[in-house]
Amino acid sequence: MATSTSRPGRSLITLLVVIVLLFGIMALTRTWKPKLGLDLRGGTTITLTAKTIDGTGKVTADQLNEAKNIIGQRVNGAGVAESDITTSGSNIINVAVPGATKESLVSQVGQTALLYFRIVYSAQSLAPAPTPTTTPKPGTTPTPSATPKPSTKVTPSATIKPTGTPKGRAWTSALGQATPTPTPKASTTPKPSTPPATPSTPAASTDPLKYTPDAATQARFAAFKCADKDKQSDDPKQPLFSCDKSGQNKYLLGPAIMAGTDLSDASAGIPQNGLQWQVNLKFTGPGGDKFLKATTAISQRGQGNNLFAIVLDGVTISTPSVDNPIPGGQAQITGTFTESDARDLANVLKYGSLPVKFEISSVDTVSPQLGGDQLSAGIWAGIAGLALVVIFCFLYYRGLGLVVVLSLLAAGLLTGSLVILLGKAIGFTLTLAGIAGLIVAVGITADSFIIYFERLRDEVREGRSLRSSVETGWARAKHTIIAADSISLLAAIVLYVLAIGSVRGFAFTLGLTTLIDLVVVFLFTKPVVTLLARTDFFGHGHKLSGLDPEHLGVERLPGQTKPSARPRRTPSSRKPVGGEV
């Protein structure tokens, strides 16, 4: 910091430029308020912990991201505006929903996302008229829709590897679990007017491939609207009424023939010599066997009826057709895909290949009133804390207290603008814990001044002149300040990286203010002290400057020539003070 020793003005101008620049950006982007956390303005914060279905193994970053997307769709589907979904750590998803929310959102958001393959028994386009007028017969030819998805087709892999050794055991045992549940859940009957018959009696067979919808199910399907989709659960053993994402096609689907766990991988790409995007599927060993069996059954259903649906969260993602049985554990879904269509589908499949369940870890609902109370409490605490520190510094350091006030002001300007701008730039939200971090940081910032001032006084006590003490004291104090601040920063970083919930906001503001403290001490406090030491008031140790001899406990300030004086009586040549000291 050679410049700050010799040219205090330069440092001060640098800092001024930085502050002006920050406020300039704020003016340009018209952001004057920080982004407040929901604990300060009311709303619901849901923390979900993602786990693999069987509870073992780790959730991968890809899966967590895909899970985040899926939850985003659920929240948006519930019609909530301004929701904010973030991941933290290796398995935590935070959902922030401002305003009052219903409990149903919480359970909806926390559902396990499962991917199933189901046979399509009936498809209907709702695009022209949302209310279907005719009851479709079983096996109705699916109405081609405007969306490109129905035109997809599953084709056997070009590189068929006979690795899919038939493992009949896995096949039957997997399906053996599909014990029939004759009575449907209440939630699966969207219309209470429907006779409480048992529509989905699994026709004496546990094999989903042999399922055929009965008349009652058909009738309920006819009455089903996409808006009702939340009223049924995605039970793999039951048939499902499902819509695609656009809500323009509805499907009557059989029980699940395969689950996402049967997939080992999925990817999107353009095959060699090909032009169209396609999605490549790879099955696990048992999954490949199931797929062979399923495709065998589906392909026998004949053109137009040979569709199966890929369903995630009860929403039909894709309905490819199958012409031939597909052995070998690999397949492609081809069709008129755009690149993003193909990637989306691949992601969904990949995510489903190792499904993740969510545990509701915490749900915090803060009423707007309490939020406002907490905000004002935080602000009052901040003002009170700041005032106390300033009063203390004035009492103890007298005139140097002015330096403390100005430095805290500079730090405040930097902190305020950065918090506001970071809210805009990286979505940093100021929470109650964050405010606490800012207040605690006032103490840390003041600590740096105290280290410097005490050092400065020590130098004077050792017999240096005030001006040289300002420099030598700084040379020593700055190492201490850097070391001490590094420790604070280290604590903040560890807290941030290993953070959960509100810890992050606290750690972030603590780290940010520690950095700002370093900047302010180097670019502001030290230069200001250098400049003040050149003034009469401070440089000659006025009684109120905090650098007067009495205050320092020395006879007189070293290095000052006092032609006239009895040193004991006149601590300052300019302002003689009467009486005993």
Partner 1 sequence: MSKLGQIGARLHRGEVSYDFIGHRKFWFSLSAVLVIVSLAGLFARGLALGIEFRGGVEYEANVKVTNSTVDDFTNTVKATNAKGLGDPVVTTINNQKVRVQTKPLDQTDIGRVRDAIGKEAGIPAEQVTSQQIGASWGKQIADKAVLALIVFLVLVFAVIWLYFREAKASAAAIIALVHDVTITVGVYALVGFDVTPATVIGVLTILGYSLYDTVVVYDKVRENTRGITGSNRFTYSDATNLAVNQTVVRSINTTVTALLPVGAILVVGTVVLGTGPLKDLSLALFVGIAIGAYSSIFIAPSLLAVFKEREPAMQALSKRVAAKKVQAAKAAAAPAEPATAGAPADAAARSVVQDAPRKADRATGSAPAASTRPMKAAAAGRPQPTRKPRSKRGK
Residues 450-469 that bind partner 1 (CB under 8 A): 450-451, 454, 457-458, 461-464
Query: CB pairs under 8 A, 24+ apart, for 178-183?
Result: 178/206, 178/207, 178/208, 178/236, 178/237, 178/255, 179/206, 179/237, 180/206, 180/237, 181/235, 181/237, 181/238
Q: Does position 443 bind partner 1 by CB under 8 A?
A: yes
Q: Does position 158 bind partner 1 by CB under 8 A?
A: no
Find where tokens 């604070």 sit.
Answer: 488
Candidates 246, 336, 490, 574: give the one binding partner 1 (CB under 8 A).
490
Pair of tokens at residue 444: 């840390």
From the list 220-228, 257-265, 345-353, 547-555, the region that binds partner 1 by CB under 8 A is 547-555
- Give CA separation, 394 vs 356, 397, 449, 547, in Å: 58, 5, 12, 12
Candidates 154, 240, 393, 470: give the one binding partner 1 (CB under 8 A).
393
Nearer to partner 1, 214 or 458 (CB): 458
Max Cα distance, the chain (Å): 118
Q: Does position 494 bind partner 1 by CB under 8 A?
A: yes
Nearer to partner 1, 333 or 389 (CB): 389
3-state secondary structure of 92: strand
- Whether residue 85 contacts residue 94, with contact meaning beta carbons closer than 8 Å, is answered with yes
Q: Does position 90 bind partner 1 by CB under 8 A?
A: no
Neighbours of 425 (CB within 10 A): 12
Candidates 54, 339, 536, 550: give the one binding partner 1 (CB under 8 A).
550
Q: What is the DSSP pairing of strand 277-283 with strand 43-52?
A: unpaired
- Residues near 417 by Cβ (< 8 Å), separated by ≥ 6? 19, 22, 23, 26
Q: Does position 74 bind partner 1 by CB under 8 A?
A: no
Q: Does position 558 bind partner 1 by CB under 8 A?
A: yes
Determine the angle formed by the axes of helices 400-426 and 8-29, rounding to 10 degrees.
40
Q: Does position 510 bind partner 1 by CB under 8 A?
A: yes
Quick one: DSSP state of residue 524? Answer: I
From the list 189-197, 216-224, 253-261, 491-499, the region that binds partner 1 by CB under 8 A is 491-499
Candidates 378, 399, 473, 571: give the one binding partner 1 (CB under 8 A).
378
Helices (H), 177-223: 215-223
- Give CA separation, 463 vs 75, 474, 573, in Å: 70, 16, 18
- Whether residue 337 contacts residue 274, with contact meaning beta carbons closer than 8 Å, is answered with no
From the list 62-70, 133-141, 171-179, 369-377, the region that binds partner 1 by CB under 8 A is 369-377
From the list 26-34, 100-108, 218-226, 276-284, the region that binds partner 1 by CB under 8 A is 100-108
Candidates 479, 562, 569, 574: give the one binding partner 1 (CB under 8 A).
479
- Residues near 542 by Cβ (< 8 Å), separated by ≥ 6? 399, 536, 548, 572, 574, 575
Q: Does position 106 bind partner 1 by CB under 8 A?
A: yes
Pair of tokens at residue 429: 């939200």
Candidates 476, 515, 531, 575: give the one binding partner 1 (CB under 8 A).
476
One-letter amino acid at 241 equals F
Nearer to partner 1, 286 or 505 (CB): 505
From the list 276-284, 291-299, 305-313, 386-394, the region that binds partner 1 by CB under 8 A is 386-394
Candidates 60, 87, 296, 365: give the one binding partner 1 (CB under 8 A).
365
From the list 74-82, 146-154, 184-192, 373-381, the region that binds partner 1 by CB under 8 A is 373-381
3-state secondary structure of 67: helix
Q: Does position 551 bind partner 1 by CB under 8 A?
A: yes
The least distance separating partner 1 from the CB of residue 388, rounded to whole angstroms, comes to: 4
The enclosing H or E element of 551 equals helix 549-552
Q: How many residues bind partner 1 (CB under 8 A)?
A: 87
Nearer to partner 1, 114 or 438 (CB): 438
Q: Does position 392 bind partner 1 by CB under 8 A?
A: yes
The least distance separating partner 1 from the CB of residue 50, rounded to whole angstroms, comes to: 12
Candidates 281, 312, 436, 470: give the one binding partner 1 (CB under 8 A).
436
Q: Does position 432 bind partner 1 by CB under 8 A?
A: yes
Q: Does position 487 bind partner 1 by CB under 8 A?
A: yes
From the list 70-78, 221-229, 371-379, 524-532, the region that binds partner 1 by CB under 8 A is 371-379
Q: What character string, x for contact with partner 1 (CB under 8 A) and - otherwise, covers 27-66?
A: --------------------x-x-----------------
Candidates 54, 62, 359, 536: give the one binding partner 1 (CB under 8 A).
359
Pair of tokens at residue 409: 């002001």
Q: Does position 104 bind partner 1 by CB under 8 A?
A: yes
- Whether residue 337 contacts residue 277, with contact meaning beta carbons closer than 8 Å, is answered with yes
CA atoms within 13 A on the CB side of 491: 13
Pair of tokens at residue 217: 């199910």
The least distance separating partner 1 from the CB of residue 494, rounded to whole angstroms, comes to: 5
Helix H, strand E, coil C: the string for 372-387 is HHHHHHHHHHHHHHHH
From the list 134-142, 147-155, 278-286, 441-449, the region that binds partner 1 by CB under 8 A is 441-449
